[in-house]
Amino acid sequence: MDLQTLWFAAVALLWTGFLLLEGFDFGVAALLPVLGRRPADRHLMLRSIGPLWDGNEVWLITAAGAVFAAFPGWYATWLPALYLPFVLVLFGLIIRAVAFEWRHSHHTERWDSTWTHVVTTGSLIAAAGIGAALAATTLGLPIDGDGNRVGGAFAGLGWPALLGAVAVVGFSLVHGAVFLALKTDGPVRLAARAFARRWSPVAALPLLGWAGLVQLRSGTLLTGVLWLVAALAVAVTWARIRVDREGQAFAAWAVVLLGSAATVFGAAYPVVVPSTIDPAFDVTIRDASVSDYTLTIMTWATGIALPVVLAYQAWTYWVFRKRLSAEPPHAPAQPASA
């Protein structure tokens, strides 16, 4: 495997890792008004992602940084063509981070309600923006032979962007619900399980549709098999959540994303930004990458640093692995009678 292909695979893995990890905390935050019927339930839901959400966002920085470092031509075409969704992503991430911190600085019903809604809004905006940007990139942008967008600020935001936004939001909602069913106990667990059982088949359709369109355009037999694996994983998720096997359902739902993302990136390879104007204007990894010497240095640096980062994040998940409950674990001791 040449270094350009290796780094294309690395970028695909980083974006998939971001959607997989950040997806469930996007989903939990978005479900606060739906599943958090009591203040204690909403507090429990936020506790379930409290130690994890900011670490998950590192994957976004790493994915965007890898595109910039390894494929500056991709970055230079992609970012200017999709300024609007990326600005929305940054806005959503900023307001949700502020809301996470400020919500716990004061305790009144109105204060908690306001910042809870900001957490939800910011998460939905960020998830939709990421989905819009990735789908518009993989399904095609109106770029010319120099890699410049043709048209105004909204030229790249057609139906592919809308499909991607709905796909990532839908995936995140069910991902968050299955995570809550796995991570919590009590009323939240029951409500999350019911939500996932009801909506998982519907929520998977936009994601499978997005991957299917890329597959139909330029897929191979292998990517077709990966798409079928993703589709079958939807059925497994639904079947496992029906019998209260939350861990198996969570793993199966992760396979839905892994199979879909592998289909999208695998079928698109070696094109990183297809042009909707003329296929001759497509940006490929050969056009967009830096020199092999630079890729070699990046590969060695990544090989040393990445295992440390992955080990630290895995340790974080292990430390906070226990199931949470909104109720105190033990009733308060009664004073002894005289």
DSSP code, position 145: T
Name the residue with tokens 């790493």: 62
Name the residue with tokens 């105190």: 328
Name the residue with tokens 């995140």: 172
Three-state secondary structure call for residue 335: coil
Residue 227 is which amino acid? W
Model pLDDT, residue 249: 96
Q: What is the pLDDT along the chain (338 residues), one digit of tens a residue?
A: 799 999 999 999 999 999 999 999 999 999 999 998 888 899 899 999 988 888 888 899 999 999 999 999 999 988 888 888 899 999 999 999 999 888 877 778 888 888 899 999 999 999 999 999 999 999 999 998 888 888 877 777 889 999 999 999 999 999 999 999 999 988 999 999 999 999 999 999 999 999 999 999 999 999 999 999 999 999 999 999 999 899 999 999 999 999 999 999 999 999 999 998 988 999 999 989 999 999 999 999 989 988 888 898 888 888 888 888 876 544 444 444 33
Q: H/E element holding 185?
A: strand 184-185
* Two tokens, residue 195: 């939500």
Model pLDDT, residue 298: 92
Cβ atoms of 273 and 283 closer than 8 Å: yes
DSSP code, position 332: P
Distance (Å, rounded) from C-alpha 112 to C-alpha 256?
34
| Buried/exposed 148-178: b ≥16 CB within 10 Å, e otherwise | ebeeeeebbbbebbbbbbbbbbbbbbbbbbb
Model pLDDT, residue 272: 93
Contacts of 84 (CB under 8 A, 6+ apart): 153, 154, 157
DSSP code, position 140: -
Three-state secondary structure call for residue 272: strand
Of 207, 248, 214, 213, whose CA–CA distance to 231 is shortest? 207
DSSP code, position 82: T
Model pLDDT, residue 327: 60
The answer to whether the Cα torsion of 209, 214, 216, 220 is positive or negative is negative
Strands (E) located in 188-335: 271-273, 283-284, 324-325
* Two tokens, residue 162: 């809308």
Give the C-alpha distances (Å, rounded to integers) separating 294 from 7, 59, 290, 300, 301: 11, 22, 6, 10, 11
Cβ atoms of 204 and 255 closer than 8 Å: no
Residue 149 phi, psi dihedral angles, 5° rounding: -70, 135
Cβ atoms of 287 and 254 closer than 8 Å: no
Distance (Å, rounded) from C-alpha 72 to C-alpha 321?
38
Model pLDDT, residue 261: 97
Considering the entire predicted model, what is its pTM?
A: 0.91
CA within 13 Å, CB half, 79: 12
Residue 10 is which amino acid? A
Alpha carbon 263 to chain centroid, angstroms: 16
Name the residue with tokens 């809550």: 180
For the residues of 42-53, what is the DSSP string, one character each? HHHHHHHHTTTH
